[in-house]
Amino acid sequence: MKLIASLTSPYARKVRIVLAEKKIDCPLEEDIPWNADTHVPDYNPLGKVPVLVLDDGSTLFDSRVIVEYLDNISPVSRLLPQENRPLIATRRWEALADGLCDAAVAVFLERKRPEGKQDPDWIDRQYTKINRALAAMSGDLGERTWCNNDSYSLADIAVGCCLGYLDFRFPDVEWRTSYPNLEALSERLAARPSFLDTLPPR
């Protein structure tokens, strides 16, 4: 089994953190899908990372699929609740965090286009999604220690990865000032070895 990933991808970071929390040893093959010499499409027809290559040569793609697979192959540190309502709540957090990342990545890619070809309205629309997602996260978190009450889970990992991506790519989004409860959650997560070891390279 090996993981094909970019070290700057928030989706790949989520998978890498799950691997660390589950204590699953999995080699990492770095590949950037935007590069001309990428081999990512050889493993994922959508040309996206992360991709998990299984021992039989089959592949799993989309971080949500991969983390569910990983959580089920090892009983160590279960990250997805077994009961339906907490599970759906965790999946909702993950969808919200991934959706924020989708909007942020869309802005990042749009800004890589020549300045005269960028669409300011498109960028503004993605920023609106980012800001709404942050407000929803903060409101749902409230004063709790973790996203799902007192239990650390995939919800926290997903939220931590999207907040980390904002720190990495979007210093202009001052979410820490506006949402001190998200900042407190981020600081708790930042102290975990799994988060420290997967910080994107500067």
Return the CATH number at 104: 1.20.1050.10
State the pairing for strand pair 51-53/59-61: antiparallel
Q: Residue 65: CB partners within 8 Å, gap ≥ 6?
A: none
Phi-psi region of 200 (alpha: psi -120 to 50; beta: other; left: phi over 0): beta
Residues 89 and 64 in one domain: no
* Per-residue confidence (pLDDT) for residue 149, from 0 to 100: 83
Bridge partner list, 2:
53
Task: Give yes or no for residue 135 having a pLDDT over 90.
Answer: yes
Report yes or no on 50 lying in a domain: yes
Report the distance separating Cα 98 and Cα 76, nearest Å.
24
Domain containing 23 equals 2-73
Asked whether residue 26 falls in the same domain as residue 103, the answer is: no
pLDDT-derived band at 202 (thresholds 50, 70, 90) equals confident
Task: Check which CATH number belongs to the domain holding 41 and give it.
Answer: 3.40.30.10
How far are the Cα atoms of 56, 108, 178, 200 from residue 10, in angstroms, in the given order?
A: 27, 13, 22, 9
Burial group, residue 163, by CB count within 10 angstroms (0-12, 13-18, 19+): buried
CB-count burial class (<10 Å; 0-12, 13-18, 19+) for 5: buried
Single out the residue of 113, 140, 105, 127 nearest to residue 173, CA to CA.
127
Which residues are bridge partners to 59 per DSSP?
53
Q: What is the pLDDT of residues 87-133, one digit of tens each?
A: 999 999 999 999 999 999 999 999 999 999 999 999 999 999 999 99
Percent of the chain with pLDDT over 90: 99
Q: Is the pTM of this model over 0.95?
A: yes
Rounded CA-CA distance 75/22 in Å is 8
Q: How many domains does the chain have?
A: 2
Tokens standing for residue 28: 């990492």
Q: What is the mean pLDDT of residues 31-54?
A: 97
Least trusted range by pLDDT, from 9-18, 99-108, 144-153 = 144-153
Please indicate, yes or no, whether residues 115 and 148 belong to a single structural domain of this protein: yes
Q: What is the pLDDT of residue 150?
A: 80
CB 136, CB 162: distance < 8 Å: no
Which helix (H) or strand (E) is 3 found in, with range? strand 2-5
pLDDT in tens, 43-88: 999 999 999 999 999 999 999 999 999 999 999 999 999 999 999 9
Residue 11 in any domain: the answer is: yes
Q: What angle do CA 167, 173, 176 make, to 5 degrees?
A: 70
